[in-house]
Amino acid sequence: MKYFTKFDSKAVADLLIEKALFYKTNSRVDLNKGSGKRIGCIFLNPSLRTRASTQIAALNLGMEPIVMNMDKEGWALEMKEGAVMNKGTVEHIKDAAAVLGSYFDILAIRAFPSLTNKQEDIEDFIFNQFVKYSGVPVISLESAIRHPLQSLADMITIQEQWKGTKKPKVVLTWAPHIKAIPHAVANSFTEWALGCGHELTITHPQDYHLDPQFTKGAKIELDQHKALEDADFVYVKNWSGFNDYGKIVTTDSAWMLTEKHLKHAKNAKVMHCLPVRRNLELSDEILDGKRSIIQQQAENRIYAAQAVISQILG
Ligand code: CP
């Protein structure tokens, strides 16, 4: 494996899940595997979980992680090919990425979307510039359109939690938010849940359809109460408009999950990638109750990253 940027296949997902679960009970077993190697974790945007869990994962494999907050500590990057750099940008991505590639054995990049330039975001332009010019293996720490380490942790969590014999019913539900939020977590969760063979229903208000390249194969049910009936796992996430790109179309609080919403899903477990805005996206009642498996998801971020880095190390 050279790149970890999206869902590859069920076989690869199963391998990574198995590996992650092994590391969860044997976290330091491969302490020599990455000895003498460095991973550069490059953040163009804020993070808590991804930043800490990726460093811990690398340390568990004996690697040296170095974190750079490029948005605050690096030079302002120019992304456009052939740009005349006579404005605010100081360094071209092709120079910066090549330098970073020469310093590190693996690069891990977080680059959020603009939510203003739809075409550039869909092409994952900034993230792919790092892939193009760094010349080393690259791990996505969340790009404009995907968050695969989060999704792998989510699949690990579902596998740990699910004790049934049939396939679980998994529901991705939109939640209200006051800010325009990227589509990456919702896209990626959809991609991985479908790829791993889960029965997936997506529910959201009118005008919040996700990019169809991700939702093909999922059931779309715009009636949230209907969608939630008999759910085994409910993944809560806000995203902004895709057709009306990056726009907040509604903040209707009726979409915020409470116990009342789950009266016909008595065993449903509730998931969220975090950070979560309490009592806006999700109620205290759910987050602090027995259904919530958010902390397990967050813990599994370490082992998801460890499995991926280990696989890249070979
Ligand atoms: N879920 C997640 O990626 O969290 P951070 O943004 O804090 O890394």
ipTM comes to 0.99
Instruction: Quote the ligand 1 centre to 47 CA distance (angstroms).
Output: 5
Q: Is 297 within any annotated ligand binding site?
A: no
Number of helical H runs and strand E runs in the chain: 12, 12
Closest atom, ligand 1, to C-alpha of 48? 7
pLDDT band at 305 (very low <50, low <70, confident <90, very high): very high
Q: Whole-model pTM?
A: 0.98
List the one residue out of 8, 2, 42, 37 whose CA is nearest residue 130: 42
Residue 92's SS3 state is strand
CATH code, residues 3-146+301-313: 3.40.50.1370
Is 20 exposed, middle or buried (CB count within 10 Å of its CB: 0-12, 13-18, 19+)?
buried
Residue 126, ligand 1, Cβ within 6 A = no
Q: Is the CB of 27 under 6 A from ligand 1?
A: no
Encoded tokens for 54: 């990726």
C-beta of 311 in contact with ligand 1 (< 6 A): no
**Per-residue pLDDT tens over the stretch 66-113:** 999 988 888 999 999 999 999 999 999 999 999 999 999 999 999 999
The secondary element (H helix, E strand) that includes residue 68 is: strand 64-69
Assess contact for 272 and 248: CB atoms under 8 A: no
**Where are the domain boundaries for CATH 3.40.50.1370 in the chain?**
3-146+301-313, 150-298
144-192 pLDDT, tens digit per residue, is 999 999 999 999 999 999 999 999 999 999 999 999 999 999 999 999 9
**Residue 274 annotated as lining a ligand binding site:** yes
What confidence tens digit (pLDDT) does each residue in 214-260 have? 999 999 999 999 999 999 999 999 999 999 999 999 999 999 999 99
Is the C-beta atom of 237 inside 6 A of ligand 1? no
Whole-number Å distance between alpha carbons of 219 and 214? 12
Residue 223: the pLDDT is 98
Q: Please state the atom number of ligand 1 nearest to the C-alpha of residue 147.
A: 3
CATH for 150-298 is: 3.40.50.1370
Strands lying side by side in the sheet with 64-69: 3-4, 138-140, 106-110, 38-43, 64-69
